[in-house]
Structure 1
Amino acid sequence: ALQEDTPSALITRLADRARDRHAREAQFQIYDHYLSFYWEHRTAEIEIVDTVGKGGDTITFNVITEWPLHPQQGELRFFHLNEAIYANNGVMSAQTHLDVPGETRRHYTRSVSHNPLTGQPLQVGDRMEFELSQFLTGTPNGRDNYYGTAILYVVGQGVEPFEAENPSLVTGQANGAQNPYPMPLAGRLGGDTTLNYQYSDEPDNHFMQIPTNLSNINGQTFMLGRRVHHTDFGDGSHDEAAENSNFTALANTLGTNYINRSCIACHAKNGRAIPPATGVTLEQYVVKIGDASGMPDAQAGAVLQPQVTSGSSEGSVSISSWTENNGLRTPVYSFTGISPANYSARIAPQLVGLGLLEAIDEADIVALADETDSNGDGISGRLHYVTDAVTSETRIGRFGWKATQPSVKQQVASALNTDVGVMTSVLPNPDCGSAQTNCGSSGSELSDQHLDELSAYISLLGVSARRGLDDATALAGETLFATAGCNSCHVKTFQTSQYAPHAELRNQIIYPYTDLLLHDMGPGLASSLGEGSAAGNEWRTAPLWNIGLTAGVSGGQGYLHDGRARTLHEAIMWHGGEAAASQAAYDAMPAGDQAALIAFLQSL
């Protein structure tokens, strides 16, 4: 949210989206999902003008919708009581004098000055949950009746991520009022972007949400970017509701060679992919390939793209079997139609928090690097310097398993280029081997507007909250995590820069548990092919936030760069190289301590 503190009012500006039901209706499980045509007329801009504590006694909510609301049902509700019930319900007043002739956007307002839960005028510090009902009238596509996000506003402070576990008991009210509390800071893994605790029982939808502090200027952009993310670049179809219209501007842009047909096909539910059954072509992996000297394969380029729209396939790869030793499994790959001298298979990771990682100041990452292990702690994390494809400047790599991309936009453009074969102005040339002829043409196929919208969507995905803040076992596990030295690489805390591209991501205290540096992880995790200056045994420290939600989002568990680890225990036991001492410390722990450390990771 954007906030402006003036002498007469604290002004907060944020965005909201239409929802099917309410935040605490677990029986329906349709709060966090997205309805059909979510990108059309179903976002709203909210301006909160709070004069309480500034000499006034009123908070005014000014709302701009993308489509006219029903005159008797366009409500704004205040002070949550129970499930879908609020203490102060009322229809907003239309501000027709602000509407622009010929446009569908409409202006509304509603004010509040009394707290029905205390029976007193509003006071600084009062907790007020509100919900906007976007009951539209006569939309061209989709349904008309929608609810909105449950949002906690603290009078005199602003919007806060919330928890609603403990009801605020009110004298004379038998059941108590369940007006939420601000989430403890320890729970806010993504700072103010952190999502409210989920009470709608939708474990698979955690990674698809707008951040709690989404600004008024980015609400519609987020939805438009989401549409690109869910579009098939071949026929333009959307992967969710059948009635969603085809995105004709993106149809027929699928590359001559590609891995999958859409972004969401690899990053299902925006979570990490799970290895498929043996013998199944790897379509949620990027398999880097190279010749004996490590250069791109002459017949297929730098990435194996098994699918084609025309001509012959570059070849394919599957996991033919697994070998197992001391409870740890290793994939055995089988190539068809190609025999690369060197290769590196990398599974699709989860997508949340990427914009926050980009917002970390470069100086803070540089300060963590210790390539020569000057302090003698056995950790020699190093920076991966890469080239910015737009400016040609040398920058620090942050994204990808080998930290090969410096920005979210370039990471997105790279994935479009090799994974779906769609060219952009950032990377306009297809992946092509020196002896390969069936590569497709060069030149941008996706507009800069659509690339920017997709990049904004990926950057702004909300991070889920840490759970179990009062769980003694998980808290003990956090101490053990540090004692074992895991936090030497999985650095807990950063403060993002004030110059981050998106205002929502600036000056945030975040807990990603990564240093974004390359580390030698030992021969057990090494691949035969490096990338850039990163050797085959070097991997960027993977962020740990929201790792405990993997099973719910992905429908299973698979960790590390190729998904080989079936549990977090296995993932730890695979650590070698610079992490060998931490792995040994964990291995030496009693079973109860190991379980506590895992409980801590599951709470993230």
Structure 2
Amino acid sequence: MQALQGEVSGIQFIDEDSAEFFVNTDGWADVHYQIGDGVQQNVRLQKTGNRQTLYLNELYQGDLVKYSFTYIDQECNCAVDSEVRSYIHGDGDGDGDGDGDGDGDGDGDGDGDGDGDDTGGQIGDTGIQDKGATSAQFFVNHSGWADVHYTLNGAGQLNHRMMLLGGVNKFEVNGLSAGDVINYRFTYWDVACNCAKVTEWATYTHDGDGDGDGDGDGDGDGDGDGDGDKDSDNDGVADIDDLCPNTPLETPVDIHGCSLVMDVAEVSINNRFLIGGNGSESPGFALYVFDGDLGSSGSNCNDKCTDNWPPLLVNDTAASGIAGLTTITRNDGSQQAAYNGRPLYFFTGDLLPDDSNGQGEGGSWWLAELTGGGDIVPLFNSSTPLEPETIIDTGDAIITRFADRARDRHAREDQFQAYDHYLTFYWEHRTAQIEIIDRVAKGGDDITINVVTEWELGQPEFRAFYRGINTVAEYYHNVLLDREPADVTRYSTTINYNSKEARALQIGDRMEMEISQFLRDPPNGRANYYGTTVLYIVGQGGLVPWEARGVFGNPSTEREDSYPIPSVGWLGGNTTLPYQYSDEPDNHFMQMASNLAPQNGQVFVRGRRVHHSDFGDGSHNESSENPNFSELANKLGSQYINRSCVSCHVKNGRAPSAAPGSDLSQYVVKVGTASGEADPLLGSVLQPKSTNGSPETTATLSTWLEEDGLRRPVYNFSGNSPTHYSPRIAPQLVGMGLLEAISEDSIVALADPDDSNGDGISGRLQIVNDPQSGEQRVGRFGWKAGQASVALQVAAALNTDMGVMTSIFPQPDCGSVQSDCGVNGSELSDKHFNDLVDYVSLLGVSARRDINNNTALQGEELFGSAGCSGCHTPAFVTSAYHPKAELRNQTIHPYTDLLLHDMGPGLADSLPEGNASGSEWRTPPLWGLGLGASISGDENYLHDGRARTLNEAILWHGGEGERAKQAYERMSGAEKNALVIFLKSL
């Protein structure tokens, strides 16, 4: 009974048919409970002395009661939601499991670990437990940050940030001996009350008896002096345990001696208003500005004024949390945070984090509001010039226009693996513009095919209506296109007969076709090529992504004949690619959109050449037969990360995760100050390579630390170590043009910064400045949605990743005290830049697979019921105003809302970006998820590649993703497998 009475809240046995809920608080308290499979009840508890209680009657022995509480915590003066717990009504001992200790494990020792020894378990929310002869582990059972403060045998106090894994903060102390005495307490962030808490001092005596040192002196540090405290970099972690030696002085470290990601931000944001951050004295409370400070360089609220309006003080080196923060010096010498030059204050009349009682006080005090973004300007509108439509209804015909490229082999020839790849000189004379004029759709009886090539054809072959009896490239209809006498690059043929069915053409006929490009004496490269296998449905207009049915060689089946993929599989709308049958899974992210407009075929391959070219020597990465691109040579920046786009985005896929000891050559390491401004010594992005002079700092992955099946990276820096940084792995590129085409209204409609619907998800817009127009845009691209358009994202990558200047970003990335950054001025021509942007924008999206698989369909239902779709929005219809016809008015399934979400401290970094805090990330799209490992050869997920499986990626979700993660954890093994199969079908 006493074990329960000492808790803040719980339930205790009264007699054989009753129990009592209790919460030890003077304020109000509600209990939410369910008996067995009954309906949940929500009841206000009654005050009894300094407790809140409620009797529960008519219970039977063995009844299961699930319950949680909502109550006022006097310490933080805030409402707290407890976790859901279970109670089994028992025989009078008050604990529900019959062992008399109240912990529910049945062993009688009261520690909850089931071993009966009364020492090994984690008793309560905080404490320390024996981990062996020479080690013990502190723990804090809260999902926010936690610090441990301790002394060993009366020596000086040590302070360490603990490591959060699996919802528990842990810190291990090594080198202990039997009888060692540790005095300790904790400071931790309680996410339930959104407040920091400090525990009382406690004492632990170690009972281990082994030394485990290996050098004979009994201390385990290897220096032979017997004291066990050798610490070369003075970070508080002995060298024998230090995975990150030479850490700069005063750097906060974890138990392994590696730099900590610490949230010391004084300012955060709630619905575009500023609030106190975790590093402030009142986290979550509203911040105000004072009209009396206008025109002043300091604060005019001093002395008695601060009784009601305490300033937001800065106790570290700088104000941090959002961009635009500075500090001012107050009359007493303290540092106060200011936003856009205006000092920030709390109001003592605000009793809860959501209060704004100071608004308008005295006509001089106002809520501090985030500036920039009040007037979001769409990328496109009704005045945007549009490229020509690709599907046109003329009244007497439906016209479909698309682009094609030369192919090595045929689509179904898996023995050659030579259909989806690109041959030498692919950008030269090897695309075609094709037009289908379908008169059958309007009551006519024929279809005309017009073809325009970049070079004269020697043998203009055209094939239609798949046969597939002798080969997988056999057709019923085989003709030579008619040449246009006045232009040797123009060809045509007219069809009025379905030779497969031996009848006239009808609406609904499946007309698969292929156009070969047998070039006549081209100046470079080989002459003979095939074309793309496309499927056209007569009378419908537009090409459709296709799947092969049946088995080749089995005449009783369809022999791999093509049928439309059901529309549920069209993840990228009409850009969606057919399924691949050439056994080239690593090439599937490099394909033209299926509906690529005829004028954009040559643009696409030119842009691809830019993507695959080295900005140092102009060489092409795929074949030595491809000549150097001289117009791109000698443009590599003074400081850079990689020499070409494809060096990071290999085959347009996600980069592999780094191996321990390797540099981050396929990552971008963003760096800056606490407020998100550029690092004075390094700029905004770490550039570890240089064409002249000394390179910037090099970042390496020191190791992966693993606990409870999850791993997190530990980084090491040489040279000037950044104080705030954010390593981000190169993402896949497909679908970016479609994301750009989603209207701003569609994104804004999903934002819920105040969580007004109570689902625990409060997605926020990232508002960014357009450097070309100066207008405020919705951020869409990058791990924190830092860029508004594909062009801006590409220009930013050229600037920081390769040091290539463009007309958008003509200045190199450079810190305020940094030199040798390179010269100003655009280097890459707008033509080559625009080709690259169009190439990235018009990549085809792979179709969803397993759309009839019952397990995958079950997983799709679980995806929705678990709440995953609360952030990973399944579908959009793109804007009618995007300039590219391929991207307009498309029904797409990206599974993203493009909003920022707080994913909790486990995934947080130390660098804010724009409106995004360290723990906020843009929801990544999920299309192509199941193909990523085939592209890169490495399965990894999340912004730094830490998750090796989708299961791990889900388990890393915290913050706004916590509920969905918990729903996943409650699933059976079969249900979890179904969810993963669904995700891999995308």
What TM-score comes out, normalization by structure 1 length? 0.97
Q: CA offset at residue 162 of structure 1?
A: 3.1
2:110 corresponds to: none
Query: How do 1:89-128 and structure 2 match up within 5 A?
Result: 89-97=478-486, 99=487, 106-128=489-511
In 2, the alpha carbon distance for the partners of 1:179 and 1:585 equals 42
- C-alpha distance in 2 between matches for 1:29 and 1:204: 11
Residue 143 of structure 1 is matched in structure 2 by 526
Which residue identity lines up with residue 437 of structure 1 in the other structure? S
1:407 pairs with 2:789: yes
Q: What amino acid is the match of 2:797?
A: A
**Could you tell me how far apart the structure 2 residues matched to 1:38 and 1:295 are?**
43
- Higher mean alpha-carbon deviation, 6-15 vs 306-315, is at 6-15
Query: Superposition pairs for residues 7-156 of structure 1, below 5 Å?
Result: 7-70=395-458, 73-82=459-468, 83-97=472-486, 99=487, 106-156=489-539
Aligned residue number for residue 580 of structure 2: 198
User: Does structure 1 conserve the Cα–Cα contact (< 8 Å) formed by 2:912 and 2:918?
Assistant: yes
User: Which residue does the alignment assign to 2:390?
Assistant: 2
> 2: CA distance between counterparts of 1:75 and 1:163?
22
Query: Alignment partner of 2:717: what SS?
Result: strand
8 Å CA contact retained: 1:160, 1:182? no
2:789 pairs with 1:420: no
Distance 1:112 1:168, change over 3 A: farther
* Contact 2:549 2:558 (8 Å CA) reproduced: no
Q: Which residue of structure 1 aligns with residue 894 of structure 2?
A: 512
3-state SS of paired residue (1:558): coil
Which deviates the most, 292-301 or 542-551? 292-301
1:208 alignment counterpart: 590
| Whole-angstrom distance in 1 between the partners of 2:678 and 2:951 | 35
- On the 8 A contact 1:127/1:179 being kept in 2, the answer is no
Q: Which structure carries more helix by proportion?
A: 1
> Residue 379 of structure 1 aligns with which residue?
761
> Take 2:565 and 2:489, find their aligned partners in 1: how far apart are those partners?
33
Deviation, structure 1 residue 59: 0.7
In the TM superposition, residue 375 of structure 1 has moved relative to its aligned partner by: 1.2
Larger radius of gyration: 2
Sort the Cα spacing of 1:294 and 1:358 in 2 relative to 1 into closer, same or farther, 3 A: closer
1:369-518 equivalent positions in 2, closer than 5 A: 369-518=751-900
Give the aligned CA root-mean-square deviation in angstroms.
Answer: 1.5
Q: Does the CA contact (< 8 Å) of 1:167 and 1:180 recur in 2?
A: no
Deviation at 1:536, TM superposition (A): 0.4
Corresponding residue number in structure 1 for 2:380: none
CA distance in 1, matches of 2:639, 2:516: 45
SS of equivalent to 1:435: coil
What is the rounded CA distance, in whole Å, between the counterparts of 2:584 and 2:523 in structure 1?
29
Aligned partners of 1:569 and 1:30: how far apart in 2?
A: 34
What secondary structure, in the 3-state scheme, does the structure 2 residue paired with 1:153 have? strand
Quick check: 2:939–2:949 contact (8 Å CA) kept in 1?
Answer: yes
SS in 1 for 2:932: helix
Instruction: Determine which of 925, 938, 941 is the counterpart of 1:559.
Output: 941
Structure-2 change in CA distance of 1:586 and 1:446 (3 Å):
same
Using the TM superposition, give the Cα deviation of residue 333 of structure 1 relative to its aligned residue in structure 2, in angstroms: 0.0
* Structure 2 Cα separation of the partners of residues 161 and 450 of structure 1: 31
How far did residue 556 of structure 1 move? 1.1
Matching residue of 1:595: 977
Displacement of 1:276? 2.3
Aligned to 1:287: 669
* 2: CA distance, partners of 1:281 / 1:308: 15
Instruction: Report how far residue 164 of structure 1 moved.
Output: 3.2
Residue type of the partner of 1:81? R
Deviations 1:335-374 (A, max 9, x none): 0112111110000000000000000010000000000111
* Pair 1:308-2:690 in alignment: yes
Separation in structure 2 between the aligned mates of residue 217 and residue 585 of structure 1, nearest angstrom: 49
Instruction: Please give the alpha-carbon distance, in whole angstroms, between the structure 2 residues aligned to 1:293 and 1:460.
Output: 36
Q: From 511, 534, 540, give the equivalent of 2:922.
A: 540
Quote the offset at 1:168 in angstroms.
11
Q: Which of residues 599, 624, 639 is equivalent to 1:242?
A: 624
Q: Unaligned stretches of 5+ in structure 2?
A: 1-388
Aligned partner of 2:836: which letter?
L
Where 2:756 maps in the other structure, the secondary structure is: coil
Question: 2-side partners of 1:528 and 1:245: how far apart?
Answer: 44
**Contact 1:117–1:177, Cα closer than 8 Å, also in 2:** no
Looking at structure 1, the residues matched to 676 and 422 of structure 2 have their Cα atoms a distance apart, in angstroms, of 44
Deviation at 1:463, TM superposition (A): 0.3
What's the offset of the Cα at 1:177? 6.0
Cα pair 1:207 1:352 within 8 Å, conserved: yes
Classify the secondary structure of the residue corresponding to 1:274. coil
Instruction: Give the secondary-structure state (helix, strand or coil) at the position aligned to 1:334.
Output: strand
Secondary structure of the 2:479 match is: coil
Q: Conserved in 2, the CA contact under 8 Å of 1:22 and 1:147?
A: yes
TM-score (norm 2): 0.59
3-state SS of 1:310 partner: coil
Give yes or no for contact 1:80–1:177 (8 Å, CA) kept in 2.
no
The alignment partner of 2:840 has SS state of: helix
Deviation string 1:447-488 (CA, Å, 9 cap, x unpaired) is 111111100000000000000011111100010111110000
CA distance in structure 2 between the partners assigned to 1:432 and 1:42 by the alignment: 41
1:300 CA drift (Å): 1.3
User: Corresponding residue for 1:157?
Assistant: 540
Matched residue type, 1:369: A
Contact 1:385 1:395 in 2 (8 A): yes
Match of 2:331 in 1: none
Aligned-pair CA distance for 1:161: 2.7
Letter in structure 2 aligned against 1:155: V
Contact persistence 2:939–2:948 (CA under 8 A): yes
Shift of 1:54: 2.5
Deviation at 1:291, TM superposition (A): 3.2
User: Please, which moves more after superposition, 271-280 or 443-452?
Assistant: 271-280
Amino acid at match of 1:197: Y
Q: Is the 8 A contact 2:549 2:559 kept in 1?
A: no
CA distance in 2, matches of 1:398, 1:221: 24
Checking the alignment, whether the CA contact within 8 Å between 2:391 and 2:542 is kept in structure 1 is no
- Could you tell me which amino acid in structure 1 is paired with residue 906 of structure 2? G
Unmatched 5+ stretches in structure 1: 100-104
Kindly state the Cα deviation for residue 392 of structure 1 after the two structures are TM-superposed: 0.9
Q: Is the 8 A contact 1:151 1:159 kept in 2?
A: no
C-alpha distance in 2, partners of 1:168/1:77? 21
Question: How far apart, in 1, do the equivalents of 2:870 and 2:560 lie?
Answer: 41
- Alignment correspondent of 1:102: none
Cα contact 1:96–1:106 (8 A) shared by 2? no
8 A Cα contact 1:189 1:464, kept in partner: yes
Partner SS state of residue 596, structure 2: coil
Query: Any conservation in 2 of the 1:160–1:183 contact (CA below 8 Å)?
Result: no
Give the CA deviation at 1:126: 0.5
Q: Which residue of 2 aligns with 1:345?
A: 727
Contact 2:537–2:544 (Cα < 8 Å) also in 1: no
Which of 502, 508, 523 lines up with 2:905 in the alignment? 523
**Is the 1:383–1:397 Cα contact (8 Å) retained in structure 2?**
yes
- Identify the match of residue 738 of structure 2 among 356, 359, 362: 356
Deviation sequence 1:227-255 (CA, Å, 0-9, x none): 00000000000000110011100000000
How far did residue 55 of structure 1 move? 3.8
When residues 582 and 213 of structure 1 are mapped into structure 2, their CA distance, relative to the original with a 3 A threshold, is same
